[in-house]
Amino acid sequence: MTRASSKDVARQAGVSIATVSHVINKTRFVSDETRQKVLDAIDALGYRPNAVARSLVTRSTRKIGLVIAEITNPFFTVAARGVEEEAINHQYNIVLCNTDEDPEREGESLKLLAAQQIDGLIIAPTGVRSPDLLALAESGVPIVQIDRSSPDLLAPLVGVNNEEGAYQAIRYLIGLGHRRIACLINFDVISTQRERLRGWERALREANLPVDDALIVRADPRFYGVLPGEAGALSLVGPSGQRQGMRSAYQLLQDLLKSPERPSAIFVASNQLTLGTLYAFRACGIRCPEDISLISFDDHDWAPLFNPPLTVVCQPTYQLGQIAARLLLQMINGEPAEAPPPLSVELVTRASCSAPPVIVS
Amino acid sequence: MTRASSKDVARQAGVSIATVSHVINKTRFVSDETRQKVLDAIDALGYRPNAVARSLVTRSTRKIGLVIAEITNPFFTVAARGVEEEAINHQYNIVLCNTDEDPEREGESLKLLAAQQIDGLIIAPTGVRSPDLLALAESGVPIVQIDRSSPDLLAPLVGVNNEEGAYQAIRYLIGLGHRRIACLINFDVISTQRERLRGWERALREANLPVDDALIVRADPRFYGVLPGEAGALSLVGPSGQRQGMRSAYQLLQDLLKSPERPSAIFVASNQLTLGTLYAFRACGIRCPEDISLISFDDHDWAPLFNPPLTVVCQPTYQLGQIAARLLLQMINGEPAEAPPPLSVELVTRASCSAPPVIVS
DNA sequence: CTGTTAGCGCTTTCAA
DNA sequence: TTGAAAGCGCTAACAG
């Protein structure tokens, strides 16, 4: 049995299809009497308006695309939550896509979303210049970038002050007495990673500490795929499946940890790498914070329960999502809207940092 | 500038709109020559087919609804990931909704999804009988339930053997020497919670241990909202915002922990409550596992890094999502499809359980 | 206060 | 090998 249409309702109620439309949308006055007849007919037939047909004529789907890197990552998850809350309050649906930091997947998703005629897009772009993304923008679909930005795309960015966050983290470590502070960053096509690296560098320079390239560990796409020691690394992959960024960092980090000049502290610029770092510590028999201090970006509910409790740079993640959604909704409604200034972050000190170990020589 | 339609393409290529449709969909033979003309026109105009218009006639949107309780919960997140992977491989989009375990929100989401004409639905229902859900099923939309089931709904369920998982967990604790084993469960409208409670009970009875009602702590909707001690409890709310289930459990649990007959072990039947449990331990100055052993449902990437590393009943979460999606896709395609038997779970022993403390009297 | 009608952009017979 | 034309279910002039 096929679902009833507005035509069926009209017939049943003995009115025109226009009237049906108008009682549903309250878009012009209808006498109490007729309205009631229509309402009854709707009830009797179990009629539900077809949003697809409506979209075709109104050119509005009430759907917004949300493209993030990893739905498994608490950062994106919490941000998505903020977006969802705001969207649902305004009767918007969310169409969700994962990119896995893969520009190709990003492109696929964007094409699908474009075809689906989303009313707007919130995206944490991979960072690789994306023709699909630019085309979408060109076609007039409102876009807001969240967390990070994409090259050549003129769309407001809702993010935090990454450089400042990194800077504060490093200052804190320096204050604790650290001199050799490593920086572990994710792919540097991601704008936040470049910014955080800059913060790291600025703090070091300011303190007249050497900015040594050997102190930078980059999780880089080149390391994707089969790695030496893969089998061993695989054991750190948890129930949620692949975590490639983590694996590559894992290898590189171990090299650094085994090097003669190993750092006394490490700043992890992406929460995607924190887990791998902790596992690498274990694999190398390194205690934290006794042997090495750890400070990472992004807080989450579990951070205080880790061993050791994690000192982190905390972002207002939920708000990021909320603000992005509000901004997008404004843009969709043609209201004046401008990108907010970068939100500020906060250093949350817990137990994963301490003074550097005393070197006994 | 409005986007080009197939009519524009047809005009530009000097062919009919039907031909355009056919070259796009490869749905009937078109001479190489004409096809090329069409392709060129598409290119020149930057034409993108409008999926909304197509949906209206084909009655297929290539969108599936995914309704889960909490996008912030790693269990759902990983399952969603499995669904997404499978969906994207088949060119389906995911429309995501959070219920927050709130039947009303669930209803709203379902109404929106129904209007959007989703091709199918994967849902972890709140457990409260839902007219909207039943109506959707009645209207012929393929539905698969994931994790848990909804009353009166005849839709395949993709889940695990919850009773067995709980049973094994309790057996393990008993083997360790525990006699008083508490069970912390989420709302018992959730089918998994009832099943896990049954497993707990069965294991206790089998071992001739008392099944004491005082040992059951229920996170119940009645405790939602403002609680005594709210301000204190709030401090355990992390960066992701509200976690009501956690808070209510937090209160109740503390009462149990302070009672004269406090248990020597606790089985947490929902990962939504694990965090609160650990905080409650802290608040009461209880060490784990020295004072109380803890075993909970659901594993995740971070569990081994907790203090203490968590002993858990591990579900094949990602597969749950994947299987649900495959099943749904089959149903959408009218292929024969039947619910898989409950998947099995696995006890993963880490450090949060030990022998009970010796009572010095 | 309500009805008629022309599309929205596409797929799909039916004809040629 | 291709075109003409009839809708899909709805909204929004325009008429009355």
* pLDDT tens readout for residues B198-254: 999 999 999 999 898 999 998 764 333 323 333 223 333 333 444 445 556 677 888
Nucleotides of C under 7 A from a protein CB: 1-5, 7-13
8 Å CB contact of A306 and B301: no
In degrees, rounded to 5, the angle at the alpha carbon of residue B259 between the alpha carbons of residues B258 and B264 is 85
A344 contacts A164 by C-beta, under 8 angstroms: yes
8 Å CB contact of B81 and A72: yes
Contacts of A77 in chain B (CB under 8 A): 71-72, 77, 240
Query: CA-CA distance, A204 to B349, in Å (whole number)?
Result: 43
Nearest C-alpha neighbor of A146 from the set A24, A319, A294:
A319
Task: Output B224-233 pairs: Cβ under 8 A, ≥24 positions apart.
Answer: B224/B248, B227/B251, B232/B283
Which residues of chain B are in CATH 3.40.50.2300 domains? 63-159+318-332, 162-316
Nucleic strand D near CB of residue A53 (< 7 Å): yes
A3 band by pLDDT with thresholds 50, 70 and 90: confident
pLDDT on residue A234: 30
Task: Read off the pTM.
Answer: 0.92
Domain topology for B63-159+318-332: Rossmann fold (3.40.50)
- Phi then psi for residue B178, to 5 deg, are -75, 145
Q: Tell me the average pLDDT of chain A.
A: 90
Query: CA-CA distance, A256 to B183, in Å (whole number)?
Result: 45
Find residues 132-151 of chain A whose CB sits inside 8 Å of chain B: 135, 139-140
- Report pLDDT digits (tens) over A301-351: 889 999 999 999 999 999 999 999 999 999 999 998 899 999 999 999 999
Nearest C-alpha neighbor of A61 from the set A85, A97, A87, A82:
A87
Looking at the complex, report in whole angstroms how far the Cα of residue B199 sits from the nearest Cα belonging to chain A.
Answer: 23
Looking at the complex, report in whole angstroms how far the Cα of residue A283 sits from the nearest Cα belonging to chain B.
Answer: 13
**Which residue in A49, A81, A279 is closest to B240 by CB distance?**
A81
Looking at the complex, report in whole angstroms how far the Cα of residue B74 sits from the nearest Cα belonging to chain A.
Answer: 7
In degrees, rounded to 5, the angle at the alpha carbon of residue B122 between the alpha carbons of residues B157 and A9 is 115
For residue B306, give the DSSP letter.
B
Hey, is the C-beta of A218 within 8 angstroms of any chain B C-beta? no
Hey, is the C-beta of B319 within 8 angstroms of any chain A C-beta? no
Segment (H or E) for A296: strand A293-297
8 Å CB contact of B84 and A63: no
Q: Which two tokens stand for residue A79?
A: 């941000």
pLDDT on residue A1: 58
In degrees, rounded to 5, the angle at the alpha carbon of residue B17 between the alpha carbons of residues B56 and A117 is 40
8 Å CB contact of B72 and A51: no
Q: Which two tokens stand for residue A194?
A: 């470049």
Length in residues, chain B: 361
Query: CA-CA distance, A125 to A144, in Å (whole number)?
Result: 10
pLDDT at position B64 over 80: yes
- The greatest distance separating any two alpha carbons of chain A, rounded to the nearest whole angstrom, comes to 96
8 Å CB contact of A88 and B109: yes
DSSP-assigned letters across all residues of A37-85: HHHHHHHHHT----HHHHHHHHS---EEEEEES-TTSHHHHHHHHHHHH
A105 contacts A111 by C-beta, under 8 angstroms: no
Contacts of A52 in chain B (CB under 8 A): 52, 55-56, 61, 116-117
A255 band by pLDDT with thresholds 50, 70 and 90: confident
8 Å CB contact of A301 and B48: no
pLDDT on residue B361: 59
Q: Helices A317-332 and A74-89 meet at what angle, rounded to 10?
A: 40
List the single best residue of B57, B81, B89, B246 to mutate versus A (max A Cβ within 10 A). Answer: B81
- Report pLDDT digits (tens) over B101-150: 999 999 999 999 999 999 999 999 999 999 999 999 999 999 999 999 99
pLDDT on residue A219: 78
- Report pLDDT digits (tens) over A7-37: 999 999 999 999 999 999 999 999 999 999 9
How many pairs of residues across A and B have Cβ atoms under 8 Å apart? 186
- Report pLDDT digits (tens) over A49-81: 999 999 999 999 999 999 999 898 999 999 999
Architecture of domain B162-316: 3-Layer(aba) Sandwich (3.40)
Which residues, in sequence order, are bridge partners of residue A314?
A: A346
Query: CA-CA distance, A323 to A163, in Å (whole number)?
Result: 21
Nucleic strand C near CB of residue B56 (< 7 Å): yes
A236 band by pLDDT with thresholds 50, 70 and 90: very low
Nearest C-alpha neighbor of A245 from the set A227, A229, A226, A224:
A224
